Structure 1
């Protein structure tokens, strides 16, 4: 229950604009890649795990595209700011509920067992969301790269 409240608090914090940095696009995919690697146990992988992974990866790509397109990036005084809306929060909750229901009822996975498949889901989701935002706002990434080179 506390986890849900913390997630909702973070989501509502995103309603306030924050300045876009390069970490906006790469921090979460890197963290998810590390967690996936750390939790992946080489050994016997069940056919149901592969099936669940494929279905969740498809859901993650769809979620990343939808939510990546819902992120708002605005320019103010030459700086870029990112935020989301209440519609984004509701959509995120619906998508995460779909992900949980698929795992629990279709694949009979335990929600309490947050395993490598969950990390793989979030890796695909955050990577797709970042790519979608970069494709939607290419000027933001190019501006970040140009400003970074000017600092050196």
Structure 2
């Protein structure tokens, strides 16, 4: 009986860990949106977004790995919540890769391309933040 209580305690601790670090996932999106709406020049814009990127990738990695641990303990791979969280993390990850590729092209071209990059980055970060709100608060009831 004591072993079962320890397993339940470990699982609930892991759920807390997953939610705790996943809750901070919105922070880089908010910072980058504020940066995109208040930039003075493109160099400062890229520098600020560049310094937030490691935080974003760290939070994606922690969320994904803690989620995989929960999946391994739970054996529930077909849950709608699990599918939504997986899709969301994939969307964020591939969205960041897409944004970086857009930036590489825009830097080499002209100001019009950079303005288009800023417009697409705003849309991407808004969608990331909206997706976070939907997935995080939609799955807040127990895993």
The question of a shared fold, defined as TM-score above 0.5 by the shorter chain, is answered with no
**Greater Rg by CA:** 2
Structure ranking higher in helix proportion = 2
Q: TM-score, normalised by structure 2?
A: 0.39
Q: Which has the higher contact order (CA 8 A, sep 6+)?
A: 1
Normalized against structure 1, the TM-score is what?
0.38
